[in-house]
Amino acid sequence: METKVRIDSRFPSMGTTIFTVMSRLAADCGAVNLSQGFPDFQAEPELFDAVHRHMLAGRNQYAPMGGLPELRQAIVDKVAALYGPRFDVESEVTVTAGATQAIFTAVAAFVRPGDEVIVFEPVYDSYVPAIETVGGKAVHAQLKFPDYTPDWEQVASLITPKTRMIMLNSPHNPTGSLLTGADLDRLADLLRGTDIAILSDEVYEHILFDGEQHASLCAHPELAARSLVVSSFGKTYHINREC
């Protein structure tokens, strides 16, 4: 006997991601897929060799909740070499199963029902669902053509007593725009004296062109104290070394 169970989604208007739609269309039409960053080359052989070596040595068991201590120490050393500050390996570094999980985990940890989170349009498609899943409200600021840089006066006008978090993405997906040191100083001015947290998605920090430099929130002492910075193993180690 069949029993039909009705499943009501909490988000009935939320469809699949644009990446799924466009990747399927590209496959169906035999088109070049420009919508999703599938590398057309393998990672460096040394990376596969290292993974194989460590798995043979038994390093494929459950990891500590925060990540293997050696990996967290390596992250601390990398950030210190790039940006200056040396974060505490025990209390300030967490390893997750991908950057998307890190973003959702950060939102879930900080955003409460009724809180507002400022995001910048065009916005990566996982941000708003993460905010709405925990009962928060996404408030949209606009990155405007042609430079796609923040209008900090607009951001200031969107901050209310309900604002809990501002989500940044630099280098920005999909426009490629970069935040500058001046942008971070302006943001620090806006947030001084508030309890607003920053979630900074910096997964493309090493994919830069034309001699540009990445302005990480890790390197801005005032903002670093209120920020969660997300980086990506996949983005860092699966880019062409000639980029």
- Domain coordinates in residue numbering, the chain: 67-237
pLDDT for position 5: 76
pLDDT for position 96: 96
Q: What is the rounded average pLDDT of the residues 148-171?
A: 97
**Residues 67-237, CATH architecture:** 3-Layer(aba) Sandwich (3.40)
- Tens-digit pLDDT profile for residues 9-29: 776 666 677 778 888 888 899
Most confident of 108-112, 208-212, 233-237, 239-243: 108-112
Q: What is the rounded average pLDDT of the residues 150-162?
A: 98
* Pairing state between β 163-169 and 116-121: parallel
The yes-or-no verdict on residue 117 having pLDDT over 80 is yes
The yes-or-no verdict on residue 2 having pLDDT over 70 is no
Q: Over the chain, what is the mean pLDDT?
A: 90
Distances (CA, A) of 131 to 109, 138, 206, 223: 11, 7, 27, 21
Q: What's the pLDDT band for 121 if we cut at 50, 70, 90?
A: very high
Higher pLDDT, 139 or 45: 139
- Phi/psi region, residue 114 (left: phi>0; alpha: psi -120 to 50; beta: rest), is left
Return the percent helix, strand and coil in the chain, to nearest 5: 35, 10, 50
106 vs 178: CA distance, rounded Å: 22
